[in-house]
Amino acid sequence: MLYFCFVIVLIRSASGFFEDLDARETSLSYLENDAAATSEPLMVPLTLIQGADSKGAVCLDGTLPGYHIHRGSGSGANSWLIHLEGGGWCNTIRNCVYRKTTRRGSAKFMEKQLPFTGILSNKAEENPDFFNWNRVKLRYCDGASFSGDSQNEGAQLYFRGQRIWLTAMQDLMAKGMQNADQALLSGCSAGGLASILHCDEFRDLFPKTTKVKCLSDAGMFLDAVDVSGGHTLRNMFAGVVSLQEVQKNLPITCTSQLDPTSCFFPQNLVANIKTPMFLLNAAYDAWQVQASLAPPTADPHGYWSDCKSDHAHCNSSQIQFFQDFRNQMLNAVEVFSKSNENGLFINSCFAHCQSERQDTWYADDSPRIGDKGIAKSVGDWYFDRAALKAIDCPYPCDKTCRNLVFK
């Protein structure tokens, strides 16, 4: 069997924001629609949430937030899947101001339509369990995983992620989601973190008779030490939490015991989520390798450049560093995994966001653990067809990976 890889070209932006952690996240997110489906994907138009501004629910630049919705049919007419878009974070005034000039901070730059692939596909042969559900992709334009609530008048920045989340849910409830008999909140990357942060809030929207679960794809961002011994991601998250006043929206079960920045890390949240949750993550998450473990600031001489761009170029000590990271991830989900209601799929790949891409979600050669792929695993867990706690053997044993290679 062959290893699969995808090549991403990273380009320094004119403003020098290549160094910012969210630049890599944005680069990776372009992949979600690149993978070829078996046919032309469904293109779904953007819907702006009219009146959201009257509730202060606006993007970084003050424009209206939005989502893409494709209605369900048949047996899925009263089933709802809400998918939270990812795309990094902004942790300083400077990079939040820059973000206002992108689709991650302004509706003015959002695509007017998006392809629905992977878990959002409307084709049974691409998405067997959720193809005929009401499927929604909520656009991400606040820079704090839908959880900030502040503003900076001098820089004309609106940090309103929590209000965007609440207003979008109210809007969708009014459009029929209140009648749902089953619902799934999912999200990728920064959206995967958001699905963890908002999972119990989502559950509380519905009566107890509604089946409600949550899926976090590539959302297990670890409070890990980088290759220089520093804490790149912790420092980044501290800026996000402070600048956007995220602490007021973090779970009290965490903030009563830990500092607010620690409570933005999923490892300190997942064990206390009451709603059934599924964690889908690559053990060697490609974004975290690039931006948290071996960013340029932690590797000024470029010792890690070749390795982090292509794991085939790593030496044995570098691979061991990644194995230690994998062990940290497994330790981080240990208590979470003890619940019979929760699910896990942690494959030993250098990948990121595997539910949005058709080739990783559901295809003949999709990644597998044992004999089961990602879509089947998530579906079996959601519909209680089988318990699902799949943890891959360590690299390099998995030959089904779709690994990411950076140029």
Tokens linked to 266: 């999923």
Measured distance CA(102)–CA(113) in Å, rounded = 16
Which token pair is 68? 């893409």
352 is catalytic: yes
Q: Choose the catalytic residue: 83, 352, 392, 398.
A: 352
Contact present, 370 and 388 (Cβ < 8 Å): no
Pairing between β-strand 182-188 and β-strand 211-217 as defined by DSSP bridges: parallel
Backbone CA torsion sign across 232, 236, 238, 239: positive
- Look at residue 63 and give its three-state secondary structure: coil
Amino acid at 38: T
Dig out the tokens for 178 from the structure: 């209140």
- Rounded distance, CA 342 to CA 62, Å? 38
CA distances 173 to 133, 166, 180, 270, 315, Å, are 15, 11, 9, 26, 52
To the query of whether residue 285 is one of the catalytic residues in this protein, the response is yes
Alpha-carbon gap, residue 217 to 278, rounded angstroms: 8
Do the Cβ atoms of 246 and 89 come closer than 8 Å? Answer: no
Catalytic residue from among 189, 262, 348, 355 = 189
**Closest by alpha carbon to 94, among 164, 24, 16, 147?**
16
Give dist(CA 190, CA 43) in Å, integer.
Answer: 23
Tokens of 53: 């501004």
Cα–Cα distances in angstroms (integers) from residue 180 to residues 11, 119, 134, 198, in the given order = 43, 18, 10, 18
What phi-psi label fits residue 68: left (phi over 0), alpha (psi between -120 and 50 degrees) or beta? Answer: beta
Q: Give me the catalytic one of 226, 285, 392, 398.
A: 285
Q: What angle is formed at CA 378 by the lines to CA 377 and CA 384, rounded to 5 degrees?
A: 90
User: How many beta carbons lie within 10 A of that of residue 262, not counting itself?
Assistant: 19
Enzyme catalytic residues: 189, 285, 352
